[in-house]
Amino acid sequence: MTWNYLEGNEQRGPVTDVDFEALVHSGKISDDTFVWHEGMAEWKPYGQVKGLTAGTSPPTHAAVGQVVCAECGRAFPPDQVIRHGNVFICAACKPVFLQKLKEGVVVHGALNYAGFGVRFGAKFLDGIILGIPMYAIAFSIQGFHPGARPNVSRALLSNAISILLGLLYYTFFVGKFGATPGKMAAKLRIVNPDGSKVSYAKALGRYFAADYISGCCTLCIGYLMVLWDDEKRALHDRICSTRVIQK
């Protein structure tokens, strides 16, 4: 498809989809700019027809062994595209795509990875939510009697119930909703690399990987990996092949 547009009172074009998208993202074509392509009955403002441009057209269903370009929606063999995160870009769309990245435009189909600060805040909130019932359970099982000797069996039972409560809390919410209540409050979601929902089994495995590998075994260094990873993954994200995204 080729496009024509009005610049002042002068007609420009025809230009290809890719060139047209570049003009849109450079600001030369705005929502008020009148545009036309073959098949349209009349010239219309771009804002009324923007859904027909290459960057926003419905994606093509790729055949087996092919991938879909996130810009133009056409299918290509993997060796004819470049990959950025979880999206693929064909050679023709590469200049427009790189320009979008330079300008900070949110790329169609790309995941918005959550940073360390917001993830820490969400985990802190989950700690508060879980802490209340955990302390209540500990108090009811162990009790607090001044001068009394610690009861080892009661302490072990209290810890076991607390661990089980945390496991059920995390696995249920992540498996069902893709996020714990703390992450929901921060508008975060745990997903697979392609953006799909994680399973209950993966949620369970991620719970142990987060608490015992990223936390205890690495002295929390596993959590800090979010700060320098290109997809803001913690160690447990790498182990379980998950991503945390911000909606």
Q: CA dihedral defined by 200, 206, 207, 213, rounded to 10 degrees?
A: 160
Q: Which is nearest to 243 in space by CA: 196, 182, 184?
A: 196
Residue 58: per-residue pLDDT? 43
Is the pLDDT at 59 greater than 50? The verdict is no
Confidence of residue 206 (pLDDT cuts 50, 70, 90): very high
| This model's pTM is above 0.85 | no
The residue that leads in pLDDT, 134 or 72, is 134
Distance CA 136, CA 242 (A): 33
Condensed to tens digits (0 to 9), the pLDDT of residues 23-33 reads 887 778 887 88
Condensed to tens digits (0 to 9), the pLDDT of residues 100-155 reads 767 655 555 567 899 999 999 999 999 999 999 988 888 888 766 666 666 778 88
CB 69 within 8 A of CB 81: yes
Q: Which is nearest to 109 in space by CA: 240, 232, 245?
A: 245
CB 99 within 8 A of CB 119: no
Is the pLDDT at 171 greater than 80? The verdict is yes
